[in-house]
Every structure is written in C-alpha cells, then in structure tokens.
Amino acid sequence: MADSFPRQEARTRRFSLGVPRAFRVSPDGSRVAFLRTNGGTDPVTCLWVVDVGTGGERLVADPRTLGAGEEDLPAQERARRERVREQAGGIVAYATDAAVSLAAFALSGTVYLADLVRADVPPRRVPTRTPALDPRLDPAGRQLGYVCAGALRVTGLSGDPGDRAVADPQGTAQLTFGLPEFVAAEEIGRHRGYWWAPDGSALLVARVDETPVNRWHIADPANPQRVPAAVAYPAAGTPNADVSLLLARLDGTPTEVETSRDAFPYLVTARWQRGHDPLVVVQSRDQRSMRILAVDPDSGKASVLREDTDPHWLEIVPGVPAWTADGRIVWTQDSPDTRRLVIGAPGRPAEPVTPPGLDVRAVLDTDGDTVLFQASAEPADIALWRYGPHGLRQVSDGEGVHGGAAAGGTTVVTSRSLEADGVMVRAYRADAADLAACGGGRAAVIASVAERPALPVPRPLLLRAGPREIRTAVLFPSWHQAGQGRLPVLLDPYGGPHGQRVINARDAYLTSQWFAEQGFAVVIADGRGTPGRGPAWERAVAGDLASPVLDDQVEALAQAAARFADLDTGRVAIRGWSFGGYLAALAVLRRPDVFHAAVAGAPVTDWRLYDTHYTERYLGLPERGSDAYDRSSLINLTERATLAVHRPLLLIHGLADDNVVVAHTLRLSAALLAAGYPHTVLPLSGITHMASAEAVAENLLTLQLDFVKRALGM
C-alpha cells in the first residue's frame, strides 16, 4: 500500500533526501565533489565525486562502512545542524584542500580524511582529540584545523607538527575559539569561525565570549528529572556575545585584529584567498553601516576598503566579498529598486556591472576573473548569471530557480522548475566565452535519487495582485472544475523577510497542493518584506512587521477572489510556521472580518523575546523604538476590542525550540485566556523549531487539516 502524502513527506524529509548538494569543483574543472544520500528515504548522507569528462560517479565515503551509521552527536554539532536546518544525518558537511583532492569531515565527533582523486585509497580516521568540530584542511592539504573543548587546534596529517592548540580558552567558561556565536549562525549566515591562510602558516580566528549574554533555560516537561538546558540567548535589546578576530600564527601567539568592534560588533564574514590580503566584513549594531576591511597578514592591522550605509539597514548578501584573479573586489550596492553587483579595485570608486532591475541574490563562486551569481529580473525566477571578461550573460535557461558552483572552466548548474519534479543537476565543461546558456558545452548529469511525490502535479496559477503587484499563487484541487462549486480558502504564506514562497519551482507547492486536494483553494502571497524585489520592497516593513505583511495578504486574497469566482471568502483559514505562524495568528486577531480560522506554528508573539540581529534590523533597539515593538506584538492585540470576535486558533510549538522559544506561545496563550479568547495549544515534547521528527512531521499535517476543516464547518 502506498504511503499517504504526509507520511511520504515525513519519510523523505520534505523530499530532500537523495538530492545532490554542497558542490565543490576542482581548480582544473575535472571533478566535482558533492553530498547525497543513497535513496529518497535514506537519511544517511554520503560523500561522492563525479568525473566531469566521463560523467562517472564514485562513492567516496559512506558513514555505514566507517562504522558511523548510528550518530552520537556532540551538543554543539546538534546545535549547528539546527541552525542550518539540516534534515539528514551522516556526512552533512565537509571541507577540502585547495586542489579538491582531499576532504575532511566529522562523524559523531571523530574526524575522517577521504581521497577525492584515488579510488584505491579508503577514508581513514585522523587522530584528534574528541569530540572534534568543524574540521578544515589547510589549502595545501598538509594540516587539519578543528575545534575541541572551545580551543582551535591544528594537527599535521603526517604527524608533524603534532596536535596542539593555537587558540585556547584554557578552561575559561563561555569562551570559544573558531566557532560562530548564535546570531552569526542563525541570522548572519556565518557557520564557521576560522579561516586558513593560503600557505597554511596562520589562521584568522573568531574569539567568542558569551559571558555578557543572558542565560535562558529550556526544560523538558515530559522528563522532569532532566536538568533544563542553559542557552546563551541574546534577545532584542540585550547584550550580544563579545566577538573579536585574531590572527593566529602557527609559530607564535595570536594577535588581535583591530576591527573597531565597539562601533562594529558584528563579525559578518572573512575571506582569505591566495595572492590577496584577507578581507573581513563587520557591521554596526543597528546594521545601518557595514565595512570591508583588508587585514595585513604580517601585522594584523586592518584598513577600511569600503563603507556602506543605509538609513534603515544593509542586507547581508551571501558570497561577498570575494577577490577576482586580477585583484578586484566583488561586492553589492543598493539602489531603491535594485541590488546590483559591483566589481572594482580596492580603494577606488567602482561602478555596478549589472543593470537596474536585475536584483542580485547571492554570489556563488569566482572562477578566475569571472563571477558566478544568482539574480532575479522577476521575483519568481532566480536565474544563474556570470560576469567576466566577456561581459554579462545568463547561464541558466528558462524560468525556474537555479544555483550552482564554478571553477576551472566547469560550471555546475542546479535547476528547479514548474515543468519537472525535484532538482536537475548538470556539470558543464565549457570555456567561459562559450557557456552562454545551459545548452553550451559538454554536460555530466549528477543524478538525483529523491522520491517522486505521490500527489497530483501542482499547477499554481500565478498572478500579480493589486497596485503593488503582489506575487501570488493560487492552487485548486486537481479534480475541481471551474464553476462547479465554491471552495473554502486556505492561505499558506511565510510572508516575512528572507522567506519567498511564490517561485517557479514545482516542489515549492507540494504541501499546498496536498491541502488543495482536501477541498481547498490555496492562496500563497509574497508581500512587502519578502526578497527578490529590491531593497525598497524589503525595507517597507521597517518599524512595523505587522501591518504591511498582513495588508498584503488581505489584498492578495481579495484579488484572487476577484479573479477566480470559485473562492468562497466567507470561509477563509490561514496556516503558517515561524514568521508564517506569527502572520497566521496576527490575521485572526487583527482581521477576524477576513480570516475565520488560523493554525500558528512556532510563532513569534513578542518581538522583545526574539534575537538581536533579526529583530533590531526591522524594529530597532527596544528602548529607542518601543512603539515599533508594540505595533508588531501579538500580545498587545489581546487588549483590543476587536477580540470580541473569536476565531478558532490553534497554536503549535516545540518545547525544545531554542530559536523561537516556547515562551512565545505560552505568553500569548496566557494573554488570550485573560481576555476570554478560546484557543487550542498543541505542545510538541522534545521537538525543535524544525519539527522534522518523522512521526511529528507526518501527523502535524493531518492534525492541521482536521482543525481547519472543523473550524470552517467542512
């Protein structure tokens, strides 16, 4: 008997198992390393390499053959996986030398080294202290760095030099070297804390002191004998970790790099490429200023190469800064309508190399003097582009969501579209001058072995709603015939910053289509604050995370109903998770005239309880902008007269969530109770923000469906 869709989605970890990812191309372009599980329901990730010339794949390392199929994760590795929303197990991260000939990875705190060139050399265990975190080879592949007990350690792979600490907290509590702090990993996108010099003689190292950070305690009420876990959580307006940057030479003591951290406390990223000084990016607490610093590798002194400012905030763009081979710096520059790519010599004015209207999303790689990046001319499409000596050209072909990697004249292109299930991956061996589109050059297919959804093909109808042209998708049941009956409506948004739902990719609509098959017209809208439509659109939520996003959902619903007569606006529900959960609860509390039921999963209910870097970007410091926090709070809504209209509301929250802690739901529930507002709370014992445990993920969908059907009288 075939699995139901909720069961299949849970077993496949939302159809992510079996999909190739984490590509690294060798400098000569001849091979590509990547990660993939062995099947669509296999949760153990393996390391692979493909020969671009022949297309032949080789399994490099399987955790099960190394005796590591069952994982015993160190607490810090478990936390890292939560930060990156890792769904699978096994080899979920790896690092290579510059030649992409060796790869290092950790399994249950033990480090292994794998040969990416020779098939006759099996992976071997590297003798290190345990548990070892974030192992990284030096560019030459002669030494290995890793973190253990808060110390950054280095060991020679041939035994010389021996294992020793190059930066050591020496037992000081709350002090670590070489690891990212919470906001770096959760919000900034920096998942590492050290960077090797190209010659392996030194490292840039993040020193993180969490002493100033308030301690929160996450208990497990289902197991009261367990001691609550203490976490350093920097809530809005409270102290962050004290993060500094050190230049640690292997033959001497660390030297602090002067980054002006009083004015620029956030360490955004660092980049150290052969032939160039290391680049470091720092950001002010209010995120209105960002600097690129060049660090003298001899003295550790830093100089300002560029400083950008904005009256609201500056977004962190993945992949920048970077060096081109001819010594120019790759960066981005904001105008009101477009984020553009900028390439120029250090310290000199630089002009954008991309046109207005092409919004840069991320820089993926530099291959010599050529830059590979993602950009959107239409928000629903994320295309792959390159800029280099031959000018600007689009690499990906057609609509869809595209990504990739590049080196040595080889370009890996990943593609998702509305025309096919899952992800298609090809490695093209072509000269930069010839690769004008996906059809150029020879291609090696890197197969996906993900399962195909047991579901009718989603066929979203896309429209631009209202004067703001809100990108909106409407999905109907596959069996529905227009004009043969009105359908209750389910809004299924994320709706907030950094989350985009309306895209030209079939797999983005699988869960929404399942809900549609149960008898709903499903509406998804990306309103103000969502990415892909330029800085002004993103910054429209400055000072108010409630009104713009909710107004745009109401507008999108009205426009969809005007376009499709079968939408029954007398029966409208909304569901969401995280920011989407906040938006769902906001909808029934503020606009019960429009929304008749809501399912709010892991919602932020009081922004004073959420972290500094995210919250202060949009609402400022609480002591300076309390009105913004009050406007955006769900707790405050419970005191309004509109709550005389009570709509069915289901609150769901994982008790082990260390991102949006369960206090958000509990405080809202208490406020609703005090206001006499009936509601339902579903606590999930032992579940984190991802809620990825199979039994939970499967049953959450059916429980939400049952709640919404009953609430709408279905």
pLDDT 10s digits, 401-418: 999 999 999 999 999 999
pLDDT-above-70 percentage for the chain: 97
Task: Please report whether residue 234 resides in a domain.
Answer: no
Residue 693 is predicted with a pLDDT of: 87
Among the candidates 398, 415, 449, a domain finishes at 449
Residue 641 is predicted with a pLDDT of: 56
Residue 440 and residue 472 in one domain: no
Does the pTM exceed 0.85? yes
* HSE, side-chain direction, 13 A CA sphere, residue 25: 27
pLDDT at 243 over 80: yes
pLDDT at 432 over 50: no
Average pLDDT for residues 630-635, to the nearest whole number?
95
CA 158 to CA 143: how far, in whole Å? 8
Residue 431 is predicted with a pLDDT of: 53
Total domains in the chain come to 3
Residue 676 and residue 550 in one domain: yes
Among 80-89, 157-166, 650-659, which is the least confidently predicted range?
157-166
Residue 417 and residue 480 in one domain: no
Task: Please report whether residue 356 resides in a domain.
Answer: yes
Task: Return the H-helix or E-strand segment holding 257.
Answer: strand 255-257
Residue 441 and residue 478 in one domain: no
Residue 523 and residue 656 in one domain: yes
Task: Please report whether residue 701 resides in a domain.
Answer: yes
Task: Please report whether residue 10 resides in a domain.
Answer: no
Among 64-68, 231-235, 678-682, which is the least confidently predicted range?
64-68
Residue 547 and residue 435 in one domain: no
pLDDT at 321 over 80: yes
**Tokens at 526, concatenated:** 């990306």
Give the distance between the most distant pair of CA atoms in the chain.
78
Task: Return the H-helix or E-strand segment holding 562.
Answer: helix 547-563
pLDDT tens by residue, 328-342: 999 999 998 999 999
CA 7 to CA 546: how far, in whole Å? 34
pLDDT tens by residue, 294-311: 999 989 999 999 999 999
Average pLDDT for residues 369-380, to the nearest whole number?
97
- The count of residues in the chain is 714
Label residue 626 by pLDDT band (50, 70, 90). confident
**Tokens at 513, concatenated:** 């289509």
Task: Please report whether residue 258 resides in a domain.
Answer: no
Chain centre distance of CA 7: 25
CATH number for 575? 3.40.50.1820
Label residue 363 by pLDDT band (50, 70, 90). very high
Residue 81: domain span? 18-126
CA 458 to CA 508: how far, in whole Å? 9
pLDDT-above-90 percentage for the chain: 89
| Cis amide bond preceding 603, omega within 30 | no
**Full strand arrangement of the beta sheet holding 329-334:** 322-323, 329-334, 339-344
Q: Which residue has the higher pLDDT, 20 or 484?
A: 20
Residue 358 and residue 437 in one domain: yes
Average pLDDT for residues 113-136, to the nearest whole number?
96
Residue 468 and residue 593 in one domain: yes
pLDDT tens by residue, 175-193: 999 999 999 999 999 999 9
**Tokens at 665, concatenated:** 């739901």
Label residue 433 by pLDDT band (50, 70, 90). very low
Residue 514 and residue 643 in one domain: yes
pLDDT at 206 over 50: yes
Among the candidates 449, 474, 500, a domain finishes at 449
**Tokens at 237, concatenated:** 């307006």
Task: Please report whether residue 274 resides in a domain.
Answer: no
Residue 448 is predicted with a pLDDT of: 97
Burial profile 498-509: b = 16 or more Cβ within 10 angstroms, e = fewer: ebbbbbbbbbbb
- For 77, phi then psi, to 5°, come to -70, -35
Residue 504 and residue 467 in one domain: yes
Residue 563 and residue 422 in one domain: no
Number of neighbours of residue 228 by Cβ within 10 angstroms = 12
Closest by alpha carbon to 536, among 363, 357, 674?
357
Cβ atoms of 50 and 32 closer than 8 Å: yes
CATH number for 397? 2.130.10.150
Task: Please report whether residue 13 resides in a domain.
Answer: no
pLDDT at 437 over 60: no
Task: Please report whether residue 304 resides in a domain.
Answer: no
CA 266 to CA 264: how far, in whole Å? 6
Cβ atoms of 622 and 643 closer than 8 Å: no
Among the candidates 70, 100, 126, a domain finishes at 126
Residue 438 is predicted with a pLDDT of: 46
Residue 1 is predicted with a pLDDT of: 52
**Tokens at 44, concatenated:** 């153990």
Q: What share of the chain is helix, strand, coil (3-state, %, to 5)?
A: 20, 35, 50
Closest by alpha carbon to 124, among 132, 115, 116?
115
Among 117-121, 170-174, 615-619, which is the least confidently predicted range?
170-174
| Cis amide bond preceding 467, omega within 30 | no
Pairing of strands 567-577, 597-601: parallel
Where in 272-327 does DSSP place strands (E)?
A: 279-283, 289-295, 302-309, 322-323
Residue 69 is predicted with a pLDDT of: 62
Q: Exposed, middle or buried by CB within 10 Å (0-12, 13-18, 19+), for 710? A: exposed
Residue 434 is predicted with a pLDDT of: 46
Residue 417 and residue 521 in one domain: no
